[in-house]
Amino acid sequence: MFIATINLIYFLLLILFFLVTCITWKIYIKLRIKPINSYTCMFKKVVIITGANSGLGFETALELSKRGAKIILACRNATKAQRAVKNIIYQTENKNVFHKHLDLASFSSIRNFVKEIYENEKKIDVLINNAGIGGIDDQLTEDGHLTMIQVNYLGHFLLTNLLIDKLKESPGSRIINLTSNLAKRSDLNLKNFTNYPYFKQNYFARKSMYSNSKLCMIYFTQEISRKLCCHGITVNAVHPGAILTGVWDIPELFKNIIKLIGFYFFKTVEEGSRTIIYLATSQDVKNVTGGLFENCAEIKMYKTARNPNLGIELWELSEKLVNLYKKKIM
């Protein structure tokens, strides 16, 4: 009886320790999250956000719509996108919110999207490369590339390059690239970039692909910011933090477990979107380019992202992979 009582006390103490740890960590996260101190009006600004029908993209679109911007939701799923458009218009009463089809897993879809933008828009003020996927195996796109690499990186590389002329039409335009601190764990090897040996179709292989794609976005940010330094276009990368979004394709049971854990250890979508909105609107960063941001502040580049030669080699390889030969940035 005495031993059973002791075991019960130990168990209760363990539960108490876990709860205190969760609450302490939640307070720590809340204290680190900075409010958005920018109240810039975005009236007559044109903003394109990829993957904006849910998660961070939707939350960003919602906030920028409140500020009066014209929002273009560049999404693959038309049904979800139209639902998001109606939701944003309903909440903000800004009727300048539209969906245009964009499938980053298809270079032809990207070129069609760009063609439509050139035909209908005089300029672009903000391009937010937000769309991303995770948790899928080594599937190939119609263009013959790993789906995760193309959607998370190559597609945005092509899209951004093709839209440069429209961004140049708006003085002080901004490009914001979504990345992740998982880029710290990247094992990027350009020699195997197009057929990387993800022979083990498991969590670790998928995580490696995801990490590599996010490191590519940082190198892309650095290299394109250097190329555009004389054109008044700023380019910065954002790590929004650990957030519960639909980016990871995992079983429903695990999603529910992660949601329970995430309540204490992750940011909300609204909190995660703040740095994106900060970079899209704040006058404090109007001349900052080539940086990496987290919690509305610039942070030190990850060690894996400090090889300028790798950034140059990646750019040259990417040009070939997306057939960008006739569209270079001068």
Alpha carbon distance 226, 220 (integer Å)? 10
Q: Are 266 and 6 in contact (CB under 8 A)?
A: no
How far is Cα of residue 72 from the mean position of the Cα atoms in its chain?
Answer: 16
- Asked if residues 220 and 157 have their Cβ atoms less than 8 Å apart, the reply is yes
Integer angstrom CA distances of residue 25 from 98, 240, 280: 39, 17, 29
CA distance 64 to 45: 9
Q: Which residue among 196, 210, 278, 302 is the active-site one? A: 210
Q: Provide CB contacts within 8 A for 230, sequence distance 6+.
A: none
- The answer to whether residue 28 is catalytic is no
What sign for the dihedral angle of Cα 73, 78, 122, 234? positive
Whether residue 151 contacts residue 133, with contact meaning beta carbons closer than 8 Å, is answered with yes
What positions carry a catalytic annotation? Answer: 210
